[in-house]
Structure 1
Amino acid sequence: MRKSVLLPILFVAACFLAGCGGGGPASAPATVTQTVPAAAPTSDPAASPSTAPVKDVTLPDVEGKNGRIVFEQLTELGLTNFEMASRDEEDKFVVNPANWTAVEIEPGPGETVKSDSTVVVTMTKKG
């Protein structure tokens, strides 16, 4: 199949799967979360987050920080299960954290959690 025919077909299929097109106002939630797997520590390339020892981690204040810096900070703290969520209506998924700014972290800053606990960082897209 030629490329010029395949691209429109893929676009229509993507819209259909995403629920695009007609039907009135969207009823999607205001916040959409996306799990971003934390990288394994670089000191042991064979280690994976699932084999890392569970430890207590105090969550930092992330408000106003660049998303990439937050991602690196949480990874360095040893968190293995954090999600980056969009607060924005138009940009629903955090694909490249460097283009986003953190607005809050849940549980809150200063709270102590286990390193394998789920932590959600809500972000907004830079203008």
Structure 2
Amino acid sequence: MKRYLVAGMLLWGIVPGVTACGDVGKPHPSRSGAVTMPNLVGKNGAVAKDDLERLGFADDRIKLSPENRVFVAMPSHWTVAAQSEKPGTRVSLQELIVLSVDKMRHPWLHHN
């Protein structure tokens, strides 16, 4: 039984005495420089996030923020409605980028 417990802890990333929460929100130490902010409004949330990561932003520097404060589990189901930095401006790779997102509407799922 103990062997299964240890295997489960490793599978789920649970290790006694270890926490991954300490660095949340801090700038990534190896990321420096600045990039030109693209226009992400209207893009799929997952595509927008990938675009920012390709520019050099660390995952913890990109936040998807829905209006109703629901956790965004699947960025591909959301559309970017606004972004914290204007397109065309130079932005540090250590800046926190907030993408305001709306839930995608699928006409075939809604009955009027």
**Shorter-chain TM-score tier:** 0.5 to 0.7
The CA RMSD over aligned residues, in Å, is 1.8
In the alignment, which residue of structure 1 is the partner of 2:66? Answer: 86
Provide the C-alpha distance between the structure 2 equivalents of 1:93 and 1:109, rounded to a whole number of angstroms: 25
In the alignment, which residue of structure 2 is the partner of 1:61? Answer: 39
Unaligned runs of 5+ in 1: 1-36, 38-48
Provide the C-alpha distance between the structure 2 equivalents of 1:98 and 1:108, rounded to a whole number of angstroms: 22
Provide the C-alpha distance between the structure 1 equivalents of 2:28 and 2:101, rounded to a whole number of angstroms: 26
Whether contact under 8 Å (2:37, 2:88) holds in the other structure is: yes
Matches within 5 A, 1:28-43: none
In the alignment, which residue of structure 2 is the partner of 1:50? Answer: 28
Unaligned runs of 5+ in 2: 1-23, 106-112
Provide the C-alpha distance between the structure 2 equivalents of 1:56 and 1:74, rounded to a whole number of angstroms: 12
Q: TM-score, normalised by structure 1?
A: 0.56
The residue matched to 1:50 in structure 2 has which SS? coil
Matches within 5 A, 1:1-127: 50-80=28-58, 81-87=61-67, 89=68, 92-127=70-105
Q: TM-score, normalised by structure 2?
A: 0.63
Residue 51 of structure 1, CA deviation? 4.2
Between the two proteins, what is the percent identity of the paired residues? 27
Provide the C-alpha distance between the structure 1 equivalents of 2:84 and 2:28, rounded to a whole number of angstroms: 21
Whether contact under 8 Å (1:57, 1:79) holds in the other structure is: no
Residue 107 of structure 1, CA deviation? 1.5
Number of matched pairs: 78
